[in-house]
Amino acid sequence: MLTADTRIPGRRVAHLIETDGPGGAERMLASLANELQCAGYPGIAFVPARLEGWLEAELAGLGVPVEYVPLGRPFSPRFAHDLAAAFRRHNVALAHSHEFTMGFYGAWAARLAGVPHVITMHGSRYYAARWRRRLALRWAITSSAAITAVSRALAESLRRDLWLRQGSVAVVPNGIRPRRAEASGLRSELGLRSGDRLLLSVGNLYPVKGHGDLIAALAGLAARYPSLHVAIAGRGDLAETLRGDALARRVGDRLHLLGLRNDVADLLASADAFVLPSLSEGLPLALLEAMFAGLPIVATRVGEVPAALAHGAAGLLVEPGRPDELAAAIDRILSDAELARTLGTRARARALAEFDVAKMAERYESLYAPALNGARR
């Protein structure tokens, strides 16, 4: 934790992010801000626009205010100056930005305000699609006290894509606070019988989440497991596409799209196994929640997922985009109760040891401390 020497009384950590919906990066920001607040290090969040208000509502319960600073166009010097003015007005000691847009503008504003800056990158290599983005992010990183990634794979991509020196990108895995699960009415909500089996996946309904592969796997297992169902918690544009795919594969009555849910811990308590079929990931919070729940897990080898699952010792791993492999791994868990129990126990033990939110906060604080000490000097 930060020591009295690194805390600056009356000053805040600024948390910056481009969107305010219930995504993984926003959830991680809220968890980190809460943990720092409890440690006596107050924060404030800056967002360009009020789109959904989820983050504001989440942080309000934690006592962390949100300020909206409008970003009028993709390149806006005024936005950087407005952010810098907000840093001064709120007596910000350090700025911590998430993802590309706020990483760039956060670095610019922090430089104007004379405060240290830290960047966290969460997901895929979308920043690498254009040279301008690469150059802008490289400038932001070289102007910041630290750059972090939530997975080793993303850290290595950042290093290669942006011509950074070896070891310059720190890896700080995501962490969550385990929630106590309560009896969920999910099974009765879905009309399941006592002997039915239920697989749960959590993630927004986008192509990168690989839910089409999960439906294909369900179809491949349908004859062997006639009472097997799949529930997906998440929202997105692919809902009707996924329903149509399930109907075409004759498993439409076994696919349940739950929409956005805030009771994921309770949903996990109702499932027989958790499946992460993603084509690309950093370190998804849904995976960590499933690990804390002690569920047997089948997941794709993407991002930091293999490391989180101890390279197969705490969950079965398959190649992304391979529904046949996915089905075979699910079959192993459903047909071997002892294997399922062992994997669930190992997953929970690993989550408790490595992915508690307090450990994540400590890792970030170890990056904040030298930056704050340097700023004080």
361 has pLDDT over 50 = yes
Q: What pLDDT, in 10s, does the model give residues 189-200? A: 999 998 999 999
Nearest to 232 by CA among 273, 270, 192, 204: 204
State the pLDDT at residue 312: 97
Instruction: Give strand pairing partners of 356.
Output: 176
Nearest to 67 by CA among 88, 95, 86: 86
Cβ atoms of 20 and 59 closer than 8 Å: no
DSSP string, 139-152: HHHHTSSEEEESSH
What size, in residues, is the chain? Answer: 377
Instruction: Say whether domain 12-177+356-376 belongs to CATH 3.40.50.300.
Output: no
- Token duo for residue 219: 């179809």
Region 318-345 average pLDDT: 98
Nearest to 364 by CA among 23, 32, 140: 32
> What gap in Å lies between CA 35 and CA 21, rounded to an integer?
20
The neighbour count for residue 182, using CB atoms within 10 Å, is 9
> What gap in Å lies between CA 105 and CA 346, rounded to an integer?
41
pLDDT band at 10 (very low <50, low <70, confident <90, very high): low
Q: Who wins on pLDDT, 178 or 27?
A: 27
Residue reference for tokens 């918690």:
233
In a 10 Å sphere around its CB, with 0-12 CB exposed, 13-18 middle and 19+ buried, how is residue 155 labelled?
Answer: buried
3 has pLDDT over 60 = no
> What gap in Å lies between CA 120 and CA 140, rounded to an integer?
11
4 has pLDDT over 50 = no
Give me the amino acid identity at 41: Y
8-state DSSP, 176? B
Mean of the per-residue pLDDT values of the chain: 93
- The pTM of this model reads 0.87
7 has pLDDT over 60 = no
Q: Above pLDDT 70, what percent of the chain?
A: 96
Instruction: Give strand pairing partners of 147.
Output: 119, 169
> What gap in Å lies between CA 75 and CA 159, rounded to an integer?
24
Residue reference for tokens 């407005």:
82
Cβ atoms of 12 and 39 closer than 8 Å: no
Q: Can you list the positions of beta strands (E) in 196-348?
A: 197-202, 228-233, 255-259, 273-276, 297-300, 316-318
Compute φ and ψ for 313, nearest 5 degrees. -75, -25
Q: What pLDDT, in 10s, does the model give residues 128-187? A: 889 999 999 999 999 999 999 999 989 999 999 999 999 999 999 999 988 877 767 899
For 83, the 3-state DSSP assignment is helix
State the pLDDT at residue 78: 97
Overall fold of domain 186-354: Rossmann fold (3.40.50)
Q: What pLDDT, in 10s, does the model give residues 262-304? A: 899 999 999 999 999 999 998 999 999 999 999 999 999 998 9
Q: Which residues, in sequence order, are CB contacts of 362 under 8 Å at separation 6+?
A: 1
> What gap in Å lies between CA 149 and CA 226, rounded to an integer?
42
Give me the amino acid identity at 302: V
State the pLDDT at residue 6: 54
Q: Who wins on pLDDT, 6 or 332?
A: 332
State the pLDDT at residue 8: 56
Comma-separated ranges of CATH 3.40.50.2000 domains in the chain: 12-177+356-376, 186-354
